[in-house]
Amino acid sequence: MNRLIGYASANYQITEWARLSYKLGLDHYTDRRNNAFDINPGRSVGSVSQSLSANRDLNSDLLLTLSPQITDKFGLSITLGQNVFDSRFVSQGSTGTTLSVTDFYHISNAADITTGETFFRKQIRAGFATADLSYDDFLFLNLTGRNDWSSILPEGKNTFQSYSASLGFAFTELLNLPNNSFLQYGKLRASYGKVGNDGGLSFIYATTNYFNQAFSGGDGFIGGIEFPAFGVNSFERSTVLGNANIKPETTTTLELGAEFKFFKDRLGFDFTYFDQESKDQIIEVQLPATTGFTDAVENAGILTSRGIELVAYATPVKLKNNVFRWDIDLNYTQVENGVEELKEGIENIFLAGFTSTSSRAVVGEPFGAIFGSGFQRNDNGDLIIGANGWPLQATGTQVYGDPNPDWVAGLRNTFTIADGLKIGALLDFRKGGDMWCGTCGIMNYFGVSELTSEKRNDVVVFEGVMEDGTPNNTPVALADPAAGLGGNYWVLYGFGGLTEASIYDTSWIRLREVSLGYDLPSKITDGLPFENLSLTLTGRNLWLSTDFPGIDPETNLTGASNGVGLEYFNMPNTKSYNVALRATF
């Protein structure tokens, strides 16, 4: 990859209180990749693929800032602006199969070659204004307004508005308390805003039905023919039904907060409550394949999110001359989100996953709920056991897990010694939240997990009731070879069987970061051409404690997507170690 990031800016001071500025930013990269499978007699004829992509993001801002001096107590600042964001991406690639000789990964070594090209273009133009008003350094009002025109929304319906108003009241300034030994600063704040959105790059061509390069046969992983082939060029219609009437998404947020500083800034709190509602979410919903499409782009419903955020800091120990100092920083977040409404006729929306287990938006459930099959239970939640002693499977599908945590928190301790040595550690906490462990399910299914090694000879009585309501007392072997696969618990209920059997809690404590820094004393740097010289050693993700049996539950099968709570041979998190030397001249 080759990447160039840069910007150019110009400023013109019109008067003492008026300034005009312009900034043009560029982010451009090219990415070239070569991927190959060697010849493996009896299994693979070998293949090689090459791709070259280029992306260019251009961002420009024209700003007029007005800061007139009204009175000594009244402050005013107004910004009028115009923004243009232009993004262009193109990718070209070739794939060749049936290699002639081994260990030669060049496209010329392939007998059958197909090529493809992909491109995306998006542009957003916007006009906006902000106004900041203050009175006597204790009352603050901020107003914003913005209008965007997006190229990826339907023509004539491609504009959306955003606005906000926030009010802050620093009551300690009004009461002249900054020198108070107990409370030095206190501020109350409230804000309300609305933000529009065009759905992002995922829906860049969502307003129309377009054609793709055709593919015939195979399962998308092995086999099949990609056109052009045999001298024939062919295209097929996309499986996603476009929508020329989609509307922009809108999100409204109410936020209330307070800030406090105590004991000469030795203790502080910042508390926030928020209530957010998102409407007309642009998303792909499933269609019956008999329609000729598998998905359709729709404005799907209403999502809500409510919660609290707390940021606190304290300095329990602070000796004179900074001989020793101990600082604590805490952040705590608790969020409850839900799907309030979906488009009429849509019961749920598939976000990510498999046919048997998936992450979905379901009315009345948390967003991203884990959806699939499970055990049959009575009204009291007891397992219903069949006559053979095995739990019965429920008919149909439903929600069996909430991937959203009850709360998350971070705790950082920093120790400063002799004003030069600094030691810090950050602990991350997560309470609650479910995840489907597909890795566990399939390893259990094939009998290669530690669990099946330990339990395969066990005979158990499943806790539950028979169909007539009497307690179950029938013992069964978890893996009786004489009963075949039908008598193996992990084959019956494992991967591809029951979603509920592979749902686990994802609570964790992890050592997110440890750092050791040292500023060289001036008596050492005085003889060097440096004003300051410091060395910092940092380690990240060094330790994890969790009862989740699969791969790190912080990972997600589909990456940064709407679908969450799925683990199936995910790429594990990495540990990293860094050394930084900083010199100031």
> What are the tens digits of pLDDT across the range 489-543?
999 887 767 999 999 999 999 999 999 999 887 776 676 777 788 899 999 999 9
Average pLDDT over residues 188-196: 97
Nearest Cα neighbor of 366 from 323, 458, 304 is 304
Amino acid 229: pLDDT: 67
Amino acid 228: pLDDT: 67
Residue by residue, DSSP assigns 311-359 as EEEEEEEE-GGGSEEEEEEEEEEEEEEEEEEE-TT--EEEEEE-SSSEE
Amino acid 224: pLDDT: 60
What's the token pair of residue 199?
A: 């759905």
Question: For residue 545, what is the DSSP state?
Answer: E
State the residue for tokens 């001989």.
323
The percentage of the chain sitting over the pLDDT mark of 90, rounded to a whole number, equals 70
Neighbours of 234 (CB within 10 A): 14
CA 104 to each of CA 35, 38, 108, 224, 404: distance values in angstroms, whole numbers, following the listed order: 12, 8, 9, 24, 48
Report whether pLDDT(225) > 60.
Answer: yes
State the residue for tokens 């491609």.
158
Residue 412 lies in a domain: no
Contact 554, 574 (CB under 8 A): no
Average pLDDT over residues 396-425: 94
Nearest Cα neighbor of 165 from 126, 120, 132, 135 is 132
- Count the alpha carbons within 13 Å of 92 in the hemisphere toward its beta carbon: 2
Q: Give the pTM.
A: 0.82
Residue 154 lies in a domain: no
Identify the band that residue 199 occupies on the pLDDT scale cut at 50, 70 and 90.
confident
Residue 86 lies in a domain: yes
Question: For residue 174, what is the DSSP state?
Answer: H
CA 398 to each of CA 32, 33, 287, 368, 456: distance values in angstroms, whole numbers, following the listed order: 44, 42, 19, 13, 30
Report whether pLDDT(69) > 70.
Answer: yes
| 429-466 core/surface letters (b: 16 or more CB in 10 A; e: else) | bbeebbbbbbbbbbbbbeeebeebeeebeeeeebebbe
Residue 1 lies in a domain: yes
Report whether pLDDT(221) > 50.
Answer: no
Amino acid at 332: Y
Kind and range of the H or E run holding 367: none
Report whether pLDDT(220) > 60.
Answer: no
Amino acid 42: pLDDT: 82
Q: What is the pLDDT of residues 238-272, one digit of tens each?
A: 888 989 999 999 999 999 999 999 998 899 999 99
Residue 264 lies in a domain: no
Q: What is the pLDDT of residues 430-487, one digit of tens each?
A: 999 999 999 999 999 999 999 999 999 999 999 999 999 999 999 999 998 888 888 8
Nearby residues of 303 by Cβ (< 8 Å), 6 or more positions away:
277, 278, 281, 337, 338, 339, 340, 361, 367
What's the token pair of residue 62?
A: 């024209």
State the residue for tokens 């602006």.
81
Q: Which domain holds residue 8?
A: 1-135
Residue 265 lies in a domain: no
Burial label for 411, CB within 10 Å (0-12, 13-18, 19+), is: middle
Report whether pLDDT(563) > 80.
Answer: yes
Q: What is the pLDDT of residues 4-45, one digit of tens each?
A: 999 999 999 999 999 999 999 999 999 999 999 999 888 889
Contact 333, 305 (CB under 8 A): no
| Domains: count for the chain | 1
Report whether pLDDT(341) > 80.
Answer: yes
Residue 215 lies in a domain: no
Nearby residues of 379 by Cβ (< 8 Å), 6 or more positions away:
none
**Rounded distance between C-alpha atoms, residue 75 and residue 135, angstroms:** 6
Report whether pLDDT(113) > 90.
Answer: no
Nearby residues of 355 by Cβ (< 8 Å), 6 or more positions away:
none
Residue 93 lies in a domain: yes
Identify the band that residue 187 occupies on the pLDDT scale cut at 50, 70 and 90.
very high
Mean pLDDT for the chain overall: 91
Amino acid 313: pLDDT: 96
Average pLDDT over residues 48-74: 94
